[in-house]
Amino acid sequence: MTTLGPVEQIELRPTIASRRGEIVRQAVFATTFLGLLALVLRPPEIVVPLIAIAVVSALLVIGQRVADRRYRSRARILLAPGWISYIREAAPQTLVRIESSHGLVGREPGTGHAQLVVVSDDGSRLLRLRSDRWSESDLESIARTCGYAIDPSMKRARDWEARLPGSTAWFERHPAGLLAVILIGMIAVFGLVMPTAPL
């Protein structure tokens, strides 16, 4: 049985800035969608869809706030050097438990937000904690307690994978390849859906 030594419990909560950022992103998305809809439809056809979308958007924001509040009241992290356990206390349910690990705090590729990636020594488990929910200071506290590296210069997926193998997925390292796969899939679906013109 592994002796963990002192175990520290850390309560992780989203920052005010991150919550405001989520609301801004949702508002931008809804506004963009409404603008595109306005270009396609003409009044009075646009009135009912706009009202429906506004109601759905408001419900989504409220639902997200409720879910976020419940999440923050239940999520806990237990730590020891090289050991981390992510627990949801309601069940209680251990979501991720890594007893022998290495990790790194850097920047999330594409957004620049702070993130902590933890990989088990055998490469079988992966845990990502991002500053969109938790404060950067909490992520750094976890890293210091567990003995993980802190390197704000880590911003690209390829750098992450080189420094911490297993920390990124293929599509994160090859965004152009992902775009090509999506376009090919859309063309294939479009070809199946559209009727063939008679000769």
Using 50, 70 and 90 to split pLDDT, how confident is the model at 93? low
Residue that wins the pLDDT comparison between 149 and 40: 149
> pLDDT digit string (tens) for 65-85?
777 667 666 677 777 777 788
pTM of the model: 0.60
Measured distance CA(175)–CA(23) in Å, rounded: 26
Contacts of 79 (CB under 8 A, 6+ apart): 7, 8, 9, 10, 85, 142, 145, 146
Residue percentage of the chain with pLDDT more than 90: 4
Alpha-carbon distance of 104 to 131, in angstroms, equals 14
pLDDT tens-digit map of 42-61: 666 666 666 777 777 777 77
* Alpha helices in the chain, H assignment, sequence order: 16-40, 47-74, 136-146, 157-163, 170-173, 175-193
10 Å Cβ neighbour count for 24?
10
Tokens of 158: 């390829």
pLDDT value of residue 106: 92
Q: How confident is the model at residue 108 (pLDDT cuts 50, 70, 90)?
A: confident
Provide the β-strand partners of residue 116.
Answer: 105, 129
Q: Is 127 helix (H, G, I), strand (E, B) or coil?
A: strand
